Amino acid sequence: MGEYTTIKVADGEFKAYVARPTAAKAPAVVVIQEIFGVNQVMRDITDGLAGQGYLAICPDLFWRIEPGIDITDQSKAEWDKAFALFNAFKVDTGVPDIAATVDAIRADAGCNDKVGAVGFCLGGLLAFLTAIRTSADATVSYYGVGLDNVIDEAKGTTKPIMLHIAEEDGFVPKAAQAAIIAAVKDQPNVTVYTYPGRDHAFARMGGEHYNEADAMKAGQRSLDFFKQHLG
């Protein structure tokens, strides 16, 4: 069971869910939400990372639109609300909020100064940008939507990045997937895994496209990546 903390930025403040490991000092991981807010799925991921020995934190990135969003993917009304939030959200204000979260958790007494990030869907795009625009040490992106529009930014970074791409992603067309892979194929800091037959959100437990085998495979790859780069 985690706790909530408040992070202050120039134009206000927002809440973030924090789960602590048993160790007094540990690497931190910022968990970057999907379009459903800091919901049970995101809190479970945050708790799970704490169980793996990480100081984990999941910030509320929709706070400027509507703070405290906590919905599921189980009804049309919730999907409609989620897409409305997605359309209202501004990436260029969200990334600085993540940067503030990275800085805040790095300054936490329980952090050993290493901070990574992992994001899903919208969070997958934001995780990629976190690698480039913030001080995070290593990032993992799951089925990021819109990566093809910002992939050129990867050319200037040496931070370790892992991308999980669902080959049948309904939100990331094949041409976009090909453009992403082509753009980073010669960059040793970027690792790409593709998942044949998988649709968007194959790692979202309880979701329509959840696939346990590939979710576990991607999860282990992510944990190994964080162990390598964060300790």
Domain span at 74? 3-230
* Mean local confidence (pLDDT), 34-57: 97
Q: Each residue of 146-192: pLDDT tens digit?
A: 999 999 888 878 999 999 999 999 999 999 999 999 999 999 999 99
Q: How confident is the model at residue 231 (pLDDT cuts 50, 70, 90)?
A: confident
Question: Is pLDDT of 139 > 90?
Answer: yes
In the residue annotation, 169 being an active-site residue is answered as yes
pLDDT on residue 195? 98
Q: What is the CA radius of gyration of the chain?
A: 16
pLDDT on residue 25? 97
Q: Which CATH number do you get for residue 166? A: 3.40.50.1820
Q: Which residues contact 230 (CB under 8 A, 6 or more apart)?
A: 27, 29, 54, 114, 115, 116, 137, 138
Active-site residue, from 97, 164, 199, 200: 200
Task: Report whether 26 contacts 111 (CB < 8 A).
Answer: yes
Q: Each residue of 53-102: pLDDT tens digit?
A: 999 999 999 999 999 999 999 999 999 999 999 999 999 999 999 999 99
pLDDT on residue 156? 77
C-alpha to C-alpha distances, 70 to 42, 78, 108, 156, 186, nearest whole angstrom: 10, 10, 25, 35, 39
Helices (DSSP H) in 7-69: which residue ranges? 40-51
pLDDT on residue 219? 98
pLDDT on residue 157? 85
In the residue annotation, 200 being an active-site residue is answered as yes
Q: How many domains are contained in the chain?
A: 1
Active-site residue, from 60, 97, 148, 169: 169
Task: Report whether 183 contacts 177 (CB < 8 A).
Answer: no
